[in-house]
Amino acid sequence: MNSIYTKKTEGFDAVIGQEEAVRMVTQTIHAGRLPHAIMVCGPLGCGKLAFAMALAKYVCCTNPTSDNSCGECMSCRMAEKLEHPDIHYVFPVIRKKEGSSIVSDDWISEWRQRLKRSPYFTLADWCSDMGDPNKQPLIYTSESNEIQRKLSLKSAMGGYKVAIIWLPEKMNAECANKLLKLVEEPPEKTLFIMVSEEPENVLPTLAGRTQRINLVPIAQDILAQYLISKLGLTEADANDIARLSEGSVLQAMQNISLSDEEKACFDSFTTLMRQAWRRDIRSLKDWSEQMASRGRERHKIFLRYAARMNRENFMANFKKPDLNYMNHEEAAFAVRFAPFINERNVNGIEELIEEAIVHIEQNVNPKMVFFDLAVRMIVLIKNR
């Protein structure tokens, strides 16, 4: 996953579209009601880790404003470099070498590199950083001892000691139970910030000791503006991507990275439908051979795309833009094409595509699969 940053932003300014959560937590801090354990939740890609990092920086700042860290004090500068001695990170890891204990600090260099690129990433991204995307990382029992050791030390900067725990649902049971005891009787001026994608899978007694902060999907206009200002996207492209991304920076980045593939899918889909309408068997045979040359994974990407376009064009007939998730090219094609997808053929087309996906997964000859799809599409597309 590529970084979304082109320049550095400070504290809560690096958190996209979560103004209400920022307002709530900063007011709580100024009222002297900061809990000692917080769990940040919300949909994937809404900025939970960025929020946790900004919160840690804020509580450690020696000269905060009413709604952000100063960005200038020694504490802020060290936090920005990910070198603050009182801000500790805990995260799922894999074993580096057999027989060794497993703690987050084994991978702290790779972790810092990841955070410096962007705090918006997935567990799969992190597994790739550790060099083994097939292993299941965990937070092991030895980590609880390490957390206790670090938090028992005197604050190096004289303020809060903070433990940011990314994905507490990945703790093994023994680690979670040991951490529970520490959360129940925390050292003075200690803050636990847990960042969870699956709070329902966190040890219930541990989750029950935290105050939950729920982040929300990022508003479409805010995400679009962010893509324009940070990535230099055109307004049209940014609005298209934001609309398709369901309030998620991660989904937006995926949509951007897949744009070339989606363009290829769009071109293949329009060619299929136009030639099917014309009953041009020779062209459809050429199309099926060209599709067959792409490779199985790209076959499935196209077929899923075609299934989505089938549904989108059917919904376009209802003239309710809020029900559609097409970019401007797809929408322009749908103006004339959508009437050809109706209640008489929408289910048949969906079943035909699903059958093709099954055949591709079963390693049926792709030339046969796509030619069969194309020829049968003639009958369905003519069924108006």
Q: Where are the beta strands (DSSP E) in the chain?
A: 37-41, 87-90, 161-166, 190-195, 211-214
Q: Is the dihedral of CA 214, 215, 220, 221 positive or negative?
A: positive
**Least confident range of 65-79, 88-102, 135-149, 202-216:** 88-102
The pLDDT assigned to 267 comes to 95
Token pair listed for 51:
């929020």
Computed over every residue of the chain, the mean pLDDT equals 92
The pLDDT assigned to 1 comes to 38
Residue 91's nearest CA partner among 108, 68, 74 is: 108
The pLDDT assigned to 215 comes to 98
The pLDDT assigned to 325 comes to 79
The pLDDT assigned to 132 comes to 81
More confident residue, 205 or 331: 205
- Asked whether residue 304 carries a pLDDT value surpassing 80, the answer given is yes
Options 3.40.50.1820, 3.30.460.40, 3.40.50.300, 3.90.1010.10; CATH of 11-216 = 3.40.50.300
The pLDDT assigned to 135 comes to 81
- Asked whether residue 3 carries a pLDDT value surpassing 80, the answer given is no
Would the pTM count as exceeding 0.85? Answer: no
SS3 content of the chain, % helix, strand, coil (to 5): 60, 10, 35
pLDDT tens track for 81-116: 999 999 999 999 998 877 667 999 999 999 999 999
The pLDDT assigned to 99 comes to 63
What is d(CA 362, CA 371) in angstroms, rounded to the nearest whole number? 16
- Asked whether residue 7 carries a pLDDT value surpassing 70, the answer given is no
Average pLDDT over every residue of 353-357:
97
**Least confident range of 19-28, 127-136, 367-376:** 127-136
Burial class (CB in 10 A: 0-12, 13-18, 19+), 136: exposed
- Asked whether residue 301 carries a pLDDT value surpassing 50, the answer given is yes
Average pLDDT over every residue of 225-233:
89
What is d(CA 11, CA 319) in angstroms, rounded to the nearest whole number? 43
The pLDDT assigned to 133 comes to 73
Average pLDDT over every residue of 253-274:
86
- Phi first, then psi, for residue 203 (nearest 5°) are -45, 120
**Least confident range of 63-67, 201-205, 256-260:** 256-260
- Per-domain boundaries in the chain: 11-216, 221-257, 259-381
Kindly indicate the confidence band of residue 2, based on its pLDDT and cuts at 50, 70 and 90: very low
The Cβ of residue 312 has, within 10 Å, a number of other Cβ atoms equal to: 18
Kindly indicate the confidence band of residue 36, based on its pLDDT and cuts at 50, 70 and 90: very high
What is d(CA 61, CA 56) in angstroms, rounded to the nearest whole number? 9
